[in-house]
Each structure stands twice: as structure tokens, then as C-alpha cells.
Structure 1
Amino acid sequence: MVLINDGSALNVCPFRTALTIGLDMETIIPSPLIVRAYDNTSRKVMGTFKAPCKIGPMETIVEFHVMDITPNYNLILGRA
């Protein structure tokens, strides 16, 4: 099964996760973007970063939006 992004998806990386994987504020590019959620709440995006992601045989560069949020999920990292 494959999820195809039609351009409306947003790849969010919580700020705490960004720090945990070794990113610092010099790596994160500031962004003026404000994200509005389905329940009409708004949150400011701290910045963005791009990272290579490999899914099966396909490798691509993915842009992540760093936000200071407490998510109900954990980042799942691939294992060798």
C-alpha cells in the first residue's frame, strides 16, 4: 500500500524530537508559517529542515516542519 501526497500533507517534526536526533537551531531554517489544525487551533512553525528518506528502493528528500508541540505519536525510525 502506498500513500500519495497531493500537496496538502504536512510533515511535522516536534522540536523535542529534532533536538533528540541532533539538529540545532543553526540547521533549522526559520519559517513564518502558521498551521491551522482541524479543530481551528493555530500553531507557529519554528522552522524547516530537509532530510533524505528511503522507503524500499525509493529515496527522496523530505521537508519537515519543526513545531513546539507534544504529539500523541512517536517518531518511528527504520532499523537495519
Structure 2
Amino acid sequence: AYNYCKRMSDRYYKLFGKSVSQLALQKRFTKIKKRKKYEWLKDINAQVPKQASKDFDTARKHSFKKYKNGYHTSYKSKKDLIQGFY
């Protein structure tokens, strides 16, 4: 979910030149759950995508403070089980 938030945020920034809100990311997850391709998301607790979008938003805000010229958030590793959970 975290990596999806990053991917969506990067795309949105390239298209519109501004960042996407945390609420918009959460709404996007709600829409995705209704697609047949992502039915497995219904088995996951609803708090997981919400927390992942909050974590991404926090990381983005912290990186803006650290790097004034833009954000440098990175993807979570799928190899590391703790990072890959998000």
C-alpha cells in the first residue's frame, strides 16, 4: 500500500505539478477494492491502507523539511518482511 501511494503521488506530481492529498489516496484505495482484479484487498483490514497512506504522507512531509527542493521518499523493500508489509 505504501509503494502504491508513492507511485500514485509521483504520477500525480508529474501530471499536475503538485502533490496529492492523503485523503485522496485513501479514497483511491476504496475505489480499487471494488475492482475485480483487486478483490483480495477486501480480505485485508481497512486500517492497513489508511495507515500506509498516513505513513507515506508523514515521510513526504519530513523529506520536504530535509530536502527543500523536493521530496526524496523511497519505495519500501519487498525483500524485507517488515517493510514489505506496508
TM-score by length of 1: 0.24
TM-score by length of 2: 0.23
Higher RCO (CA-CA < 8 Å; seq separation 6+):
2
**Which protein has the bigger strand share?**
1
